[in-house]
Amino acid sequence: MGPMLIVLDHMLPDVWPAPEGWIVVGRVGSRALAYDEARRPYLIGDGEPEALDPAAVNPALLPAVDAACLRIWPGGWVHALPAALGLNTRTTSRDRIAAKGLSPNVLRVIASASSHDDAEAMGRLLSALAHYADTVSDGPGEGDRIEDALRAAENAADMLASVRRGKTSRPEG
């Protein structure tokens, strides 16, 4: 068997059911790649879950992460990914991903954001919200800072709507 080809993809739970607490992050061939609560990889989709060797999965994750992240951040993801998701840059370095993989939840977010036609716009939104939460908000906890960023995003959307829906030119006459 050749090297494993992983595609990070949004996997609908009703199509790809997984055991409670597992995170489905993409596919390998016609089966889904999922992680159990202990972050062990499995293939699911045909009968019982098949355990995979992390030493085989992790190196195959790197091209999958690269392809998905370049859809989200076409200008480069090496700095954008850790900044947007609040991760240590060492955690998201190419050699570290190939050796240790990434958190299944991080893989799920990458898969979801990259799976749609608006992937680049989603990357900009993730980066902007994270930037606001990290640099402007003074909330005591991560959740508070994200809530501050969401309120700021709603305020910004209201500002845009007031200009884009309203008349912006001077009255005639």
Residuewise pLDDT in 10s, the chain (173 residues) = 567 999 999 999 999 999 999 999 999 999 999 999 999 999 999 889 999 999 999 999 999 999 999 999 999 999 999 999 999 999 999 999 999 999 999 999 999 999 999 999 999 999 999 999 999 988 899 899 999 999 999 999 999 999 988 766 666 66
> What's the domain range around 53?
6-116
User: 103 lies in a domain?
Assistant: yes
User: 167 lies in a domain?
Assistant: no
User: 126 lies in a domain?
Assistant: no
Q: In angstroms, rounded to a whole number, what is the distance separating the alpha carbons of residues 106 and 167?
A: 42
User: 162 lies in a domain?
Assistant: no
- Rounded to 5°, the CA angle 115-145-143 comes to 70
User: 160 lies in a domain?
Assistant: no
User: 131 lies in a domain?
Assistant: no
Count of domains forming the chain: 1
User: 110 lies in a domain?
Assistant: yes
User: 47 lies in a domain?
Assistant: yes
